[in-house]
Amino acid sequence: RKEVEQDPGPFNVPEGATVAFNCTYSNSASQSFFWYRQDCRKEPKLLMSVYSSGNEDGRFTAQLNRASQYISLLIRDSKLSDSATYLCVVNVNGGFKTIFGAGTRLFVKA
């Protein structure tokens, strides 16, 4: 079983749609959690950190469920510019190791 698993997609949605991505992780001792975004042939960039209390940044909402070892990302009112690969990221081993999920590809269509 992979340490971090994501639905690879692709998700094809129209502009304005709400889309949700899920991620599960296997190491119950995982300490910190993030969503990164990667555009085609570009380096990953932080989208947002994920906290147990949940956090929101504009159209983006991230949730963490430690009991279920589950992380989610909700994108509301999708824009064309949201088209990218979304990477679920978990720090394990006392923070010494960072595990990236394989990513979920999103295409937003006009």
Binding site for other proteins (CB under 8 A): 31-32, 34, 43-46, 49, 87, 91, 93-103
Q: How far is the CB of 94 from other proteins (least distance, A)?
A: 8
Q: How far is the CB of 6 from other proteins (least distance, A)?
A: 8
CA–CA separation, 110 and 102 (whole Å): 26
User: CB-wise, 97 or 109, nearer to other proteins?
Assistant: 97
User: CB-wise, 14 or 28, nearer to other proteins?
Assistant: 28
CA–CA separation, 25 and 2 (whole Å): 8
Which residue, 101, 89, 107, is CA-closest to 30? 89
Can you tell me whether residue 105 is helix, strand or coil? strand
Which residue, 104, 106, 101, is CA-closest to 24? 101
Q: How far is the CB of 85 from other proteins (least distance, A)?
A: 9
- Taking the alpha carbons of 81, 9, 1, 61 in that order, is the dihedral positive or negative? positive
Q: How far is the CB of 91 from other proteins (least distance, A)?
A: 4
User: CB-wise, 33 or 75, nearer to other proteins?
Assistant: 33
User: CB-wise, 15 or 45, nearer to other proteins?
Assistant: 45
